[in-house]
């Protein structure tokens, strides 16, 4: 591997991919905040404590990874983890661009989005976020990191159910869309 000298050390593939991972995470977070500010008024909302608690935990549980000790990975697993983060965050940003002003953290219906990544999957944002979460989990000590990842995934599955209920209630054509579209992985689930 060829190195290019910087003031404090060489530019390596790790450095470049690491910077891309951080930039994609910052871009994703910035995009989320912007969409929360400009979103349209919901036509329907979930009712009760559990849908809201699940949404908040599913959104912010990822911060808990920072409480775990970091794993000292060799170069290849480090690259794989960072690649998962970059791919997951980049695809999440792409999905948010399609979702646009319909984005919400809580289970709410603003408009039914069925184009772009939503053509193939009902919940592409959750699928892509989980890809990034796998990369994140790889960087922290196991088995706690794996347990946190599984809890996060279970929360997201519950969150999908709450959203599906709200969307079905708000949009009469949601049931037909959900019947012909995979939930998370095309041709699988």
Query: Domains of the chain (ranges plus CATH)?
Result: 4-180 (1.20.120.1630)
pLDDT of residue 1: 37
- Checking if the pLDDT of 12 tops 80, the result is no
Both tokens of 119, joined, read 């053509």
CA dihedral in degrees (66, 53, 171, 164; nearest 10)?
70
Helix, strand, or coil (residue 121):
strand
Tens digit of each residue's pLDDT (9 = 90 or more) over 55-77: 999 988 888 888 888 888 888 88
- Checking if the pLDDT of 8 tops 60, the result is no
What does pTM read for this prediction? Answer: 0.82
Q: Are 55 and 122 in contact (CB under 8 A)?
A: no
C-alpha span between 131 and 117 (Å, rounded): 15
- Checking if the pLDDT of 44 tops 60, the result is yes
pLDDT, average across residues 136-141: 88
Q: How confident is the model at residue 36 (pLDDT cuts 50, 70, 90)?
A: confident
pLDDT, average across residues 16-38: 77
- Checking if the pLDDT of 155 tops 90, the result is yes
Tokens 């579209």 locate to: 181
pLDDT of residue 178: 97
Q: How confident is the model at residue 169 (pLDDT cuts 50, 70, 90)?
A: very high
pLDDT of residue 5: 42
Beta-bridged to residue 10, according to DSSP, are: 5
Q: Are 30 and 151 in contact (CB under 8 A)?
A: no
Q: How confident is the model at residue 4 (pLDDT cuts 50, 70, 90)?
A: very low
Average pLDDT of the chain, as a whole number: 88
Q: How confident is the model at residue 11 (pLDDT cuts 50, 70, 90)?
A: low
Q: Cα angle at 21 between 28 and 145, to 5 degrees?
A: 95
pLDDT, average across residues 139-150: 91
pLDDT of residue 24: 72
């Amino acid at each position: 591997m060829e190195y290019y000298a910087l003031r404090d050390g060489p530019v390596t593939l790790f450095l470049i991919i690491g910077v891309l991972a951080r930039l994609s995470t910052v871009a994703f977070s910035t995009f989320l905040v912007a969409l929360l500010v400009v979103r349209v008024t919901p036509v329907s909302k979930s009712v009760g404590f559990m849908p809201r608690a699940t949404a908040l935990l599913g959104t912010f549980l990822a911060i808990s990874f920072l409480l775990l000790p970091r794993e000292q990975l060799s170069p290849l697993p480090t690259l794989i983890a960072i690649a998962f983060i970059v791919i997951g965050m980049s695809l999440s940003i792409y999905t948010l661009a399609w979702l646009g002003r319909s984005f919400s953290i809580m289970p709410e219906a603003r408009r039914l989005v069925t184009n772009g990544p939503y053509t193939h999957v009902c919940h592409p944002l959750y699928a892509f976020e989980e890809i990034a979460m796998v990369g994140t989990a790889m960087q922290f000590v196991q088995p706690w990191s794996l347990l946190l990842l599984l809890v996060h995934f279970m929360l997201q599955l519950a969150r999908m159910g709450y959203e599906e209920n709200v969307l079905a209630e708000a949009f009469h054509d949601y049931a037909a869309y959900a019947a012909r579209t995979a939930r998370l992985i095309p041709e699988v689930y």
